[in-house]
Amino acid sequence: MATHGKKYRASREKIDPAKRYTFQEALEMAAQCAFAKFDETLDIAVRLGVDPRHADQMVRGTVVLPNGLGKSVRVLVFAKGEKVKEALDAGADEAGGDEIIDRIKEGWLEFDKTVATPDMMGSVGKIGKVLGPRGLMPNAKLGTVTFDVAKVVKEIKAGKVDFRVEKTGIVHAPMGKISFGADKLIQNITAFMDTLIRLKPTAAKGTYLKGIAISTTMGPGIQIDPLAVKTILS
């Protein structure tokens, strides 16, 4: 049976498992609990009152965090003609058509996000079995299948986050680096929560925000009072 290390256990002891913290309190606690030698990412997990097995209760969307994620995101754009230059000028790390697809077939996967123009999706579909399981397939619902590649590339580079409710009814998303400090992290969390609330399915009944927790990459989870959302959104 796996056990947590001494530093993790010491961090967990600082947290009252029965308490539901405000965002400010939780972020201060998360900073105290961060013990890794690298700048840990702050993640948020929100348990929603939805049943993802029903299509009309699926929650899926994107949000551009005002303070970014604090890390470099490698963006690949599937395009041809003038759209290749447009993508590269906007900051894409790689852009191209069939030659890029051939590289991926050979095992190249040095990218974190993908964007595609609609006229490339027929070709991109041929590597769907490679991209799909890794969450790298361009998706029209998430705005990554578009002719406006420059806008999307810039958004991704600026800190655009894709999120989707899991089978368990939980949404996970990164909110930035712990070194950002509480103010910037709260701004990012506010943007995320505002988007999440606006995406509430009309078919979802009862309490929508059932539970919220934050944690750093290596640290324990810290429970937040769902009612605290009203404070940051006001």
What was the pLDDT predicted at 1? 40
Whole-angstrom distance, CA of residue 38 vs CA of residue 26: 20
pLDDT digit string, tens, across residues 111-162: 999 999 999 999 999 999 999 999 899 999 889 999 999 999 999 999 999 9
Question: How many CA atoms, within 13 angstroms, populate the side-chain half-sphere of residue 105?
Answer: 11
What was the pLDDT predicted at 14? 86
CATH number of 75-157: 3.40.50.790
pLDDT-based confidence at residue 12 (cuts at 50, 70, 90): confident
The order of strands in the sheet holding 222-224 is: 170-177, 41-48, 209-216, 222-224
According to CATH, where is 3.40.50.790 located in the chain? 75-157
| Confidence (pTM) | 0.84
Q: Which of 3.40.50.300, 1.20.1730.10, 3.20.20.70, 3.30.190.20 would CATH assign to domain 18-69+160-233?
A: 3.30.190.20
Whole-angstrom distance, CA of residue 26 vs CA of residue 46: 14
| Residue 4 reports pLDDT greater than 80 | no
pLDDT-based confidence at residue 58 (cuts at 50, 70, 90): very high
What was the pLDDT predicted at 208? 96
pLDDT-based confidence at residue 19 (cuts at 50, 70, 90): very high
| E strand residue ranges, the chain | 41-48, 60-64, 75-78, 94-96, 113-116, 160-164, 170-177, 209-216, 222-224
According to CATH, where is 3.30.190.20 located in the chain? 18-69+160-233
Interval 197-203 mean pLDDT? 95
Question: How many CA atoms, within 13 angstroms, populate the side-chain half-sphere of residue 167?
Answer: 0
| Residue 36 reports pLDDT greater than 70 | yes
Residue 98: both structure tokens together:
């069939």
| Residue 197 reports pLDDT greater than 90 | yes
Whole-angstrom distance, CA of residue 163 vs CA of residue 166: 9
pLDDT digit string, tens, across residues 65-97: 999 999 889 999 999 999 999 999 999 999 999
